[in-house]
Structure 1
Amino acid sequence: MSPAASAASQVGPSGRQVLDLFCCAGGASMGYHLAGFTVTGVDIAPQPRYPFTYLQADALEVLSDRKFLAQFDLIHASPPCQAHTQAQPIQGRRHPDLIAPTRRLLRTSGRQWIMENVPGAPLRPDLILCGSIFPELRDGPYGIKRHRWFEFSDMPDELALVPPCDHPPKVVSVFGHGGARYHGVEQWRRVMGISWASRDELAEAIPPAYTHYIGNALVRTWTSQKGAT
């Protein structure tokens, strides 16, 4: 059984439910799973390697269904980043910007939420994470310098104390469709902490370490708040 399939067979011990919108192959989803959440992913495209409960649907339509959303403790949304990535001017292609409509629906969802995207996207960067702060995302001297911005409806105080970046001596570029800086799928998987995804899926993913870190902080905060009542 693959690591992804094994993970899907386990139930999140925290008893918390998270909805991962625009989930792609499930990098963010795996992090929440490791933090103890039960995960449901939504994407408009088929995701045959997604390791958890999966719904192929339009994320904005799902966000409009308040009855469906009521079962979740947290909504994570990663709208497509192509409109804001640094490679976009080079590619010269136009892409839809779904951040504003996603935010509007998240704010009316009645749920706690997190939205993630690339640096420069029109997000409020409540939290900035880089792969270089996670020791597990190293392959000898190789690692990633992959910054991502997170906007929260309600961010735990402890997440304001993020360690500074510690960029590796040799940076592995995990983006696009290969080229001169393409290091090989297996190395991409090691430095991303994603064992099941394809080359193109890895290029679009965030490492599970990011949402594992966030999810653990949320669970600790919620447990503390419950104990105080």
Structure 2
Amino acid sequence: MQPRLDLDFDLEPQRLPAFLDAVLAAAEERPLIVDSFCCQGGATLGYGLAGLDSHPRGFYVVGIDIDPQPRYCGPAFIRGDALAVLAAMTPWIRRHVLFVHASPPCQGYSDTQVLRGRDHPKLIGPVRELLTGTGVPWVIENVPGARAHMNSPVVLCGTMFGHKTYRDRWFESGGGLVLDQPHHPRHDLPITQMGRPRRVGQMAHYVGNFSGVAEARNDLGVPTMNRDGIRECIPPSYARWVGLRAAAQFLPRTQAGAAA
């Protein structure tokens, strides 16, 4: 396995062109995906799985996050403000990238944070403007409280993928990408109380100082994540679902034949 490519954009923005040249060389003509606001890489894992299903050599995913993220699981990582990095990368994205994913911070849209009176930035609008300017397909993901700020989003839920948690997340697509709403099962099972182990017949709640990190890793398919990463992550199954649809719609049919 090749060592991860890393760039600290805040400290060395002048290195971005050389870093992107190194990404192209490492990708070896595999389709490129950018995972912005990536945290520890739940979406990156999912797009990696979609790539294995959709292309003979898989996808190559570049992560961007404001924090260093030593646990990030992808092959290339840029530390820096995602809006600034995406703006600087736009010409390169337009020429080379299949698809861009963005998960802007959810705190500004979280019902819990609003009830506590905390002020957090709402970045969906600025992110949408940047992604639209790239000219490539894209998706924005966020929590249920962000639904009113998103354009015709679809919802994905853990019950759709056999997980032991609901974790509803909303996805707005653009740049020509079309996502149809799958059947959303009812949330009939009770949710485990905060901080308590999940019991049989309950759905887990992987937030706060939740109990059962090992179970959560196994349930979501995120073996290298710690509690902080699990709290923030998109289940890889969600990103795989999105990635398969992006591949089916935008890769040549000879490469996307397995996408569904």
Interval containing the TM-score (normalised by the shorter chain): 0.7 to 0.9
Residue 13 to residue 152, structure 1, CA distance change in 2 (3 Å): farther
Match of 2:124 in 1: 99
Q: Which one of the candidate residues 239, 245, 249 is aligned to 1:221? A: 249
Match of 1:82 in 2: 107
Whichever residue aligns with residue 104 of structure 2, its letter is P
RMSD: 2.4
Is contact 1:129-1:148 (8 Å) kept? yes
Is contact 2:99-2:246 (8 Å) kept? no
- In structure 1, distance between residues paired with 2:165 and 2:142: 17
Secondary structure at the aligned position of 2:138 is classed as strand
Match of 1:38 in 2: 60
Is contact 2:98-2:137 (8 Å) kept? yes
Deviations 1:104-144 (A, max 9, x none): 11111122111110112111243210011102x2xxxxx10
Whichever residue aligns with residue 51 of structure 1, its letter is C
Is contact 2:42-2:234 (8 Å) kept? yes
Match of 2:195 in 1: none
Question: How far apart are residue 185 of structure 1 and its match?
Answer: 0.8
Whichever residue aligns with residue 213 of structure 2, its letter is V
Question: How far apart are residue 67 of structure 1 and its match?
Answer: 2.4
Question: How far apart are residue 226 of structure 1 and its match?
Answer: 7.6
**Structure 1 gaps, min length 5:** 6-10, 138-142
- In structure 2, distance between residues paired with 1:95 and 1:161: 29
Q: Which one of the candidate residues 204, 208, 232 is aligned to 1:172? A: 204
Q: Which one of the candidate residues 91, 103, 127 is aligned to 1:67? A: 91
Residue 25 to residue 152, structure 1, CA distance change in 2 (3 Å): same
Residue 151 (str. 1) matches residue 179 (str. 2): no
**TM-score, normalised with respect to structure 2:** 0.73
Residue 199 (str. 1) matches residue 222 (str. 2): no
Matches within 5 A, 1:104-143: 104-121=129-146, 122-135=149-162, 137=163, 143=164
Question: How far apart are residue 191 of structure 1 and its match?
Answer: 2.4
**TM-score, normalised with respect to structure 1:** 0.82
Is contact 2:50-2:244 (8 Å) kept? yes
- In structure 2, distance between residues paired with 1:13 and 1:67: 20
**Structure 2 gaps, min length 5:** 5-25, 52-58, 190-200, 256-260
Residue 13 to residue 219, structure 1, CA distance change in 2 (3 Å): farther
Q: Which one of the candidate residues 182, 188, 191 is aligned to 2:216? A: 188
Question: How far apart are residue 27 of structure 1 and its match?
Answer: 0.2
Deviations 1:44-63 (A, max 9, x none): 11100001111112111122
Quick check: which has more Rg, 1 or 2?
Answer: 2
- In structure 1, distance between residues paired with 2:159 and 2:226: 22
Is contact 1:115-1:152 (8 Å) kept? yes
- In structure 2, distance between residues paired with 1:112 and 1:223: 11
- In structure 2, distance between residues paired with 1:95 and 1:186: 31
